[in-house]
Amino acid sequence: MVSQTANDKRGRILDAAASIFAQHGFFHARVTDIAKEAGVADGTIYLYFKSKDDLLINLFEDRMDDIIATFRGGLGEGLTAGQKLHRFIELHLRLVEEEPALAKVLTVELRQSSKFMRDYQALKFGEYLDLLSDILDEGRASGQFRTTIDPRILKRVIFGALDEVSLVWSSTPQQRRERYELADAATEIWNLCTGGILSTAHRTNTDIARGETA
Amino acid sequence: MVSQTANDKRGRILDAAASIFAQHGFFHARVTDIAKEAGVADGTIYLYFKSKDDLLINLFEDRMDDIIATFRGGLGEGLTAGQKLHRFIELHLRLVEEEPALAKVLTVELRQSSKFMRDYQALKFGEYLDLLSDILDEGRASGQFRTTIDPRILKRVIFGALDEVSLVWSSTPQQRRERYELADAATEIWNLCTGGILSTAHRTNTDIARGETA
Amino acid sequence: MVSQTANDKRGRILDAAASIFAQHGFFHARVTDIAKEAGVADGTIYLYFKSKDDLLINLFEDRMDDIIATFRGGLGEGLTAGQKLHRFIELHLRLVEEEPALAKVLTVELRQSSKFMRDYQALKFGEYLDLLSDILDEGRASGQFRTTIDPRILKRVIFGALDEVSLVWSSTPQQRRERYELADAATEIWNLCTGGILSTAHRTNTDIARGETA
Amino acid sequence: MVSQTANDKRGRILDAAASIFAQHGFFHARVTDIAKEAGVADGTIYLYFKSKDDLLINLFEDRMDDIIATFRGGLGEGLTAGQKLHRFIELHLRLVEEEPALAKVLTVELRQSSKFMRDYQALKFGEYLDLLSDILDEGRASGQFRTTIDPRILKRVIFGALDEVSLVWSSTPQQRRERYELADAATEIWNLCTGGILSTAHRTNTDIARGETA
DNA sequence: CATGAATGAGCATTCATTCAT
DNA sequence: CATGAATGAATGCTCATTCAT
């Protein structure tokens, strides 16, 4: 309910933090501005969060919980691994499109909290990445994906592709953003995954065309 | 020349900056520590650079000039687009391996300078990305790559994959880094580019296997 | 009555304040910690006391009332002035020993409240000191003490001696406190009062051995 | 030289700190006010001192060094222990009279720095007290003071007497201070030391008149 | 060119006090 | 009377930048 959000100080502070962090970056964001945006006193923030760093961590964890739940719902049973991968790409980019501020925080600002990079990279974020590697594992098991992929690495590769595309989009001033851009990126990534970039004529029969330059 | 580098204050400051930025992050890095590491006075830094931000920009531009020159040399004539792409991946990851501090700065810290993200993304960094899109254009023109790729987007996708893999590697404590990891990442990315992830059995004859989930 | 004390919020707050002030010092003591220790809400404290300063003042006055009453009882009729002085010293140091937290507050923390030093020094504290000057007056009147003493000053001198000795004792960590120490101090102060420090051989016949250094 | 003092930032900051601490108390003193009084920027203080606490510690140590040197000079050879004690009392009270602000800091504010009470009580302050116990030891050795005194305790007793008398004087508003007051205190303390408070008629022949009240 | 002492704006955080419930 | 969540003024300290030498 709307009214619930309106009275939920913790939630309002997190929303404000997302907005202010996205606008000014984590380091340039002033706690007092977050408070103002949230409509609370400066000190109130410290009733809910231990520090500015802690605020960022909590923002991340809260949002990631939502995101992961949404993704889990969207990647339900009855889909092939390929379909799930397609859906994952779509969901990731749709999220970026719908919540650019949040996307910017997750993409850019999070890297600046030393505490985060040290302690949290493996937790919520790992959980998110595991959604991806689970799909890859599943596809490999079902025979849809080639057996030579390494999901531990490939999840990073695909995430990196999504992340960079998202970063560029969310860092682009709104006026210059074009709606189709992210959709195009989705197509591009999906095509890369399914067929690579070689033209049919140049595909070798071997599964993996290695050593071309060796 | 060696002596030039040794006495070149500007160069020593940039080296020091790379080291300190990598260790503490851009915002937590103190100008006075950079000065100490470079063996110059605090004020001297401001004879060569306008500000701390400017120092980061210049570090980026200087290093990128070297990197771009190195890449241009390594991507000489006589190679197919595919071979060049393979080489590009190799060069990028080798650079990360050889200069992890620099890599960390370019991957992580650079994103924190608002000035950088606003004004410079398009310049040196664009030049670097253009090395990649040039290869893609060339492959498309020569028929080696399928015509449906969009080099403007695909360069971001491939760069994102490389960048994420690099970030993880350079953020991993040295003890836990294993030498093969980056080589494996190179293989994974290269395989993705050449053949995608589908097993041979699941490849359709159409160039692009779209709409699977639609 | 026990039940009164047990339920008396005011009393519990004062007890808690004494404890917290003694542990952390007046300025570092947090009102919220006093509330916690007293088992009341933060706001409740302000139903009984106007401010943190006021809490200190009231703590002082309350305790001093008890102390003064106890002293008056202990210094009953039938004692010579000398005996009363001896008893006073004993009572003061015994109080310190039995309530070190209170002693610390009275000795150290009280000096920090500007309001206290300005407005209250003359009241309850003066009453306490007057117990001492009354003894001195009495001794002078009865001929037991020499007529040349100035009770207005000497009360400060004796109090200062007691206070310093108490301060050292109550500031010493419990492990290193030795029980006899305060008893020894009592002896030392008492001996000083009765006979000074000169050996018998060096005592002159004149009442006051002044001008020795002049 | 005056000019030396004028340019000695460290010295000016210490002087300002003494003044501001004396006026407002350690906790209510603002660093920015000390800076203003010293004619330096806020940050400059932190070039010379680690923290506000450290400033107080350094103020204490610096002044105590001077004071101890002065006392050592004033207690030169050729004086009996009794004369030295007389001189010590005189010097202590003269110091208080000449530098009331400093005296107030040393007497009152110092007790508020937890760091001080914990770590420094034994050092410079112990050195000062040792001046006193040395005199007492000497007097006992020479036979001038009775052998039953315990210099470890008596030094505290005498210091406490001096300190209390000083505290009262320096806390009294200037208008109400009367010049002779400290001189009278000196007499009072000196008389107490030399002869105690008993009138000649009441002195027993035994060295120590104990057990009077037992 | 080089220095580094000095600057002072800037900000996260604390905590005594209030007041709606 | 009692609560304790909320307040917001207050301040010690940092550090990029300057400038007299």
Backbone phi and psi for residue C77, each to the nearest 5 degrees, phi listed first: -65, 165
Taking residues A25-46, report their average pLDDT: 95
B40 CB neighbours strand E below 7 A: yes
- Number of residues written out for chain A: 214
- Shared-domain flag, residues A104 and A117: yes
Residue B156, pLDDT score: 92
* For chain A, percent of residues with pLDDT exceeding 70: 82
Number of neighbouring beta carbons within 10 Å of residue C28: 13
- Shared-domain flag, residues B114 and B40: no
When scoring C157, C162, C212 by the number of chain D Cβ atoms within 10 A, the one with the most, hence best to mutate, is: C157
Protein residue with the closest CA to the C1' atom of nucleotide F19: B43
Residue A102, in any domain of the structure = yes
* For chain D, percent of residues with pLDDT exceeding 90: 51
Tell me the C-alpha distance between A69 and A209, whole Å.
Answer: 38
Tell me the C-alpha distance between D34 and D41, whole Å.
Answer: 9
Domain count along chain B: 2
- Lowest-pLDDT choice from B180-184, C122-126, D49-53: C122-126
Residue C168, pLDDT score: 84
Please report, to the nearest 10 degrees, the dihedral formed by the alpha carbons of residues A121, A122, A128, A131 taken in order.
150
- Shared-domain flag, residues B44 and B129: no
Taking residues C24-44, report their average pLDDT: 95
Residue C212, in any domain of the structure = no
Is the pLDDT at D210 greater than 70? The verdict is no
Structural domain for C18, as ranges: 1-49
Residue A207, in any domain of the structure = no
Is the pLDDT at B2 greater than 60? The verdict is no
Tell me the C-alpha distance between C12 and C132, whole Å.
Answer: 31
- Lowest-pLDDT choice from A73-82, A194-203, C128-137: A194-203
The verdict on a CB contact (< 8 Å) between D82 and C198 is yes
Please report, to the nearest 10 degrees, the dihedral formed by the alpha carbons of residues C182, C185, C186, C187 taken in order.
130
Tell me the pLDDT band of B6, cut-offs 50, 70 and 90. Answer: very low
CA C129-C133-C139 angle, to 5 degrees, is 150
Residue C179, in any domain of the structure = yes
Taking residues D164-187, report their average pLDDT: 80
Tell me the C-alpha distance between A120 and A18, whole Å.
Answer: 18
Residue A114, pLDDT score: 55
Tell me the C-alpha distance between B105 and A176, whole Å.
Answer: 28
Residue A212, in any domain of the structure = no
Two structure tokens written together for A39: 């409509």
Tell me the C-alpha distance between C124 and C108, whole Å.
Answer: 16
pLDDT digits (tens, 9 = 90+) for B66-117: 999 999 998 887 899 999 999 999 999 999 999 888 888 887 777 666 555 5
Residues 6+ apart with CB under 8 A from C178: none
- Shared-domain flag, residues D148 and D176: yes
Tell me the C-alpha distance between A214 and A203, whole Å.
Answer: 18
SS (H, E, C) chain C: CHHHHHHCHHHHHHHHHHHHHHHHCCCCCCHHHHHHHHCCCHHHHHHHCCCHHHHHHHHHHHHHHHHHHHHHHHCCCCCCHHHHHHHHHHHHHHHHHHCHHHHHHHHCHHHHCHHHHHHHCCCHHHHHHHHHHHHHHHHHHHCCECCCCCHHHHHHHHHHHHHHHHHHHHHCCHHHCCCHHHHHHHHHHHHHHHHCCECHHHCCCCCCCCCCCC
Residue B210, in any domain of the structure = no
Two structure tokens written together for B95: 């650079």
Tell me the pLDDT band of D212, cut-offs 50, 70 and 90. Answer: very low
Q: How long is the CA A33 to C1' E13 vector, in angstroms?
A: 15
Q: How long is the CA D182 to C1' E16 vector, in angstroms?
A: 39
The residues facing B145 across adjacent strands are: A198
- Do D108 and C111 touch, CB atoms closer than 8 A? yes
- Do B182 and B164 touch, CB atoms closer than 8 A? no
- Lowest-pLDDT choice from A172-186, D110-124, D136-150: D110-124
Tell me the pLDDT band of C172, cut-offs 50, 70 and 90. Answer: confident
- Out of C79, C87, C193, name the one closest to residue D197 (CB): C193
Residue D1, pLDDT score: 35
Question: Strand E: which nucleotides have any atom within 7 A of a protein Cβ?
Answer: 1-20
- Shared-domain flag, residues D89 and D14: no
CA-nearest of C107, C135, C117, C134 to C22 is C107
pLDDT digits (tens, 9 = 90+) for B29-58: 999 999 999 999 999 999 999 999 999 989
- Shared-domain flag, residues C99 and C58: yes
Two structure tokens written together for D166: 């000083």
Residue D117, pLDDT score: 58
CA distance A138 to chain B (A): 12
pLDDT digits (tens, 9 = 90+) for B133-184: 999 999 999 989 988 889 989 999 999 999 999 888 887 777 777 655 788 8
Taking residues D169-196, report their average pLDDT: 81
When scoring B83, B198, B205, B206 by the number of chain A Cβ atoms within 10 A, the one with the most, hence best to mutate, is: B198
Q: How long is the CA A197 to C1' F4 vector, in angstroms?
A: 63
Tell me the C-alpha distance between B85 and B193, whole Å.
Answer: 9
Question: Distance from CA of residue B40 to its chain's centroid?
Answer: 29
Taking residues D36-47, report their average pLDDT: 96
Taking residues A185-213, report their average pLDDT: 68
- Do A169 and B153 touch, CB atoms closer than 8 A? no
Block residue for tokens 């420094």: D120
Residue D172, pLDDT score: 77
Distances (CA, A) of C146 to B130, C143, C192, C198, D191: 104, 7, 14, 17, 11
Residue C213, pLDDT score: 39
H or E segment at B24? helix B9-24
Side-chain half-sphere of A48: how many Cα atoms within 13 Å? 20
Residue D125, pLDDT score: 84
pLDDT digits (tens, 9 = 90+) for D76-105: 888 999 999 999 999 999 999 998 888 888
Residue D115, pLDDT score: 58
- For residue B162, the domain's CATH number is 1.10.357.10
When scoring D87, D117, D145, D157 by the number of chain C Cβ atoms within 10 A, the one with the most, hence best to mutate, is: D157
- For residue A36, the domain's CATH number is 1.10.10.60
Residues of A with Cβ-Cβ distance to B80 under 8 angstroms: 212
Residue B210, pLDDT score: 43
- Shared-domain flag, residues B45 and B87: no
The residues facing B198 across adjacent strands are: A145
- Shared-domain flag, residues B104 and B161: yes
- Out of D80, D207, D213, name the one closest to residue C87 (CB): D213
Residue D82, in any domain of the structure = yes
Two structure tokens written together for A85: 């991968």
Is the pLDDT at A9 greater than 90? The verdict is yes
Tell me the C-alpha distance between D15 and D32, whole Å.
Answer: 14
The verdict on a CB contact (< 8 Å) between C157 and D189 is yes
Residue C107, pLDDT score: 79
- Shared-domain flag, residues B12 and B24: yes
Q: What is the mean pLDDT of chain A?
A: 83
- Shared-domain flag, residues A59 and A39: no
Residue C210, pLDDT score: 43
- Shared-domain flag, residues B75 and B45: no
Residue D208, in any domain of the structure = no
Residues of B with Cβ-Cβ distance to A139 under 8 angstroms: 197
- Shared-domain flag, residues D93 and D20: no
Residue C180, pLDDT score: 59
